[in-house]
Amino acid sequence: MKLIKRSIFLWSFFMACGFTNAQDVKDTSFKDAFKGKFYIGVALNRWQSNGSNPEEQKLIKAEFNSISPENDMKWENIHPSKDTYNFEHADAYVKTGKQMDMFIIGHTLLWHSQTPDWVFKDDQGNLLTRDALLKRLEDHINTVVGRYKGVIKGWDVVNEALNEDGTLRKSKWYNILGDDYIVKAFEYAHAADPDAELYYNDYNLYKKEKRAGAVKIVNQLKAKGVPIKAVGEQGHYSLTGPAISEVESTLQDFIKAGVNVNITELDISVLPDKGASTTADVSNNAAYKKELDPYTDGLPKDIEKKLADSYQSLFKLFMKYENKIDRVTFWGLSDRNTWLNNWPIRGRTNYPLPFNRDLSAKTQVKEAILKAAK
């Protein structure tokens, strides 16, 4: 009797989703489910970009139609010293994107983190003047954007420039260049490739105060006649938040400001976050405790169900605003290499993505996301 009831339940579920059987769910990709709605993207690490694992490459090509680089276009990797550019890994990433016919994203041109100290200093070790740093920034953007002009379709021009209260972070960029450094970066990027989409990208924009700071950036750019296509809400969420109403307010406020929205770094942590503040700042960290790492032997089905419900709620919301959302990108391919295994607490076992460590789909999660596409 239990088996019959389960069969009836599964048949009803798949019919409600618009699928006729479980094989249809397995065979339906994310990119096909959301075709004509928005791009479904994934962030690639270096080994995925260079094709070290054919199984991963097969999954990337099958499920996604947009890619972002996790680290290989950040300043410390692509421009490690004053007179040295290293395009080896960035070129491999772009080559992979072209071969797979992806909408290719560049990430990121200006960030306070993962930027070498030499960028801000002259040959004697003194801090650069405003004019000298602007010239260095312009040269960097011209070189990097110019190399991939017409191939990389969208750039995260500035990343994480805001404090949690919406004020500008007092980074070295800000301290040397002043309030208009974001405008200057966008101007340089637009000049380097006038056809590329330009974005501002940040985390925790579901917080009203921080979001107001991002809207101010959008308004500042528009007042200067500098194009900005979309704001990226990173989407580093958890099972406990944010509320869907907060995410919806985020979408609404940016739409009112006259830009589209990208969900750029989506993942949902299933682990307790006690001991670490709710921020995606890479400098955030906390001490390891066994009670904060409860699922080392596998993800319980009831927790996977909560994860599936969270993803479904989000994607239903994204579908509601499909005309103003250009892209939803998962920050990582699978649980085996998610950054959340080591952040904000090193050594934990997290399960934030739709694909398991063995690259199989989390059944409940994928079904839930596909259902939201209907």
Cα–Cα distance, 361 to 374 (Å, whole number): 19
DSSP state letters, 319-371:
HHTTTTEEEEEESSSSGGG-GGGSSSSTT-----SSB-TTS-B-HHHHHHHHH
Q: Taking Cα atoms as reference points, which of 199, 203, 212 lies closest to residue 235?
A: 203
Mean pLDDT in residue range 53-72 = 97
Phi-psi map region of 41: left, alpha, beta (phi>0 left; psi -120 to 50 alpha): beta
Residue in 56, 63, 70, 160 annotated catalytic? 160
3-class SS of residue 121: strand
Could you give the CA distance from residue 325 to residue 372 in angstroms, rounded to a whole number? 15
Q: Does residue 170 carry a pLDDT above 60?
A: yes
Segment 316-320 shows an average pLDDT of 98
How high is the pLDDT of residue 277?
Answer: 46
> b vs e for 341-353, b when ≥16 Cβ sit within 10 Å of the residue's Cβ?
bebbbeebbbbbb
**Active-site pick, 197, 265, 304, 367:** 265
pLDDT computed for residue 349 by the predictor: 97
Which domains can be identified in the chain, with CATH numbers? Answer: 21-372 (3.20.20.80)
What is the model's pTM? Answer: 0.91
- Report phi then psi at 116, rounded to 5: -65, 150
Helix (H, G, I), strand (E, B) or coil at 30: helix
Tens-digit pLDDT profile for residues 129-163 = 999 999 999 999 999 999 999 999 999 999 999 99
Structure tokens belonging to residue 138: 């312009």
pLDDT above 70 as % of the chain: 90
For the cut 80, the answer to whether the pLDDT of residue 374 exceeds it is yes
Q: Is the dihedral of CA 329, 333, 337, 340 positive or negative?
A: positive
The pLDDT of residue 325: 98
Measure Cα distances from 299 to 59, 88, 138, 287, 357 in Å: 21, 37, 47, 22, 11
- Measured CA to CA, the distance from residue 196 to residue 152 in angstroms comes to 7
Question: CA quadruple 292, 204, 67, 318: dihedral positive or negative?
Answer: positive
CB 54 within 8 A of CB 98: no
Does the pLDDT value for residue 203 go beyond 50?
Answer: yes
**Distance from first CA to last CA of the chain, Å, rounded?**
31
Residue 5 has pLDDT above 50, yes or no: no
Band of residue 2 on the pLDDT scale cut at 50, 70, 90:
very low
Residue 201, both tokens: 């990208």
pLDDT (0 to 100) of residue 27:
81
H or E segment and range at residue 252: helix 244-256
Show the tokens assigned to 40: 């479904």
Encode pLDDT of 230-270 as tens digits: 999 999 999 999 999 999 999 999 999 999 999 999 999 99
Would you place residue 1 in the very low, low, confident or very high pLDDT band (cuts 50, 70, 90)?
very low
CA atoms within 13 A on the CB side of 32: 10
Q: 247 in helix, strand or coil?
A: helix
And the tokens for 35? 């075709």
pLDDT of residue 18: 52
pLDDT given for residue 309 in this prediction: 98
Give the contacts of 360 (CB within 8 A, at least 6 positions apart). none
Mean pLDDT score across all residues of the chain: 92
pLDDT for the residue 288: 82
Cis peptide before 352 (omega within 30 of 0): no
Question: What pLDDT does residue 289 have?
Answer: 87
Res 50: pLDDT: 95
Query: Model confidence over 13-22: pLDDT tens digits?
Result: 444 455 545 5
Q: Is 160 a catalytic residue?
A: yes
The pLDDT, as a whole number, for residue 92 is 98
pLDDT band at 287 (very low <50, low <70, confident <90, very high): confident
Residue 273 has a pLDDT of 76
Active site residue 291: no
d(CA 368, CA 274): 28
What is the mean pLDDT of the segment spanning 40-49? 97
- pLDDT value for 3: 40
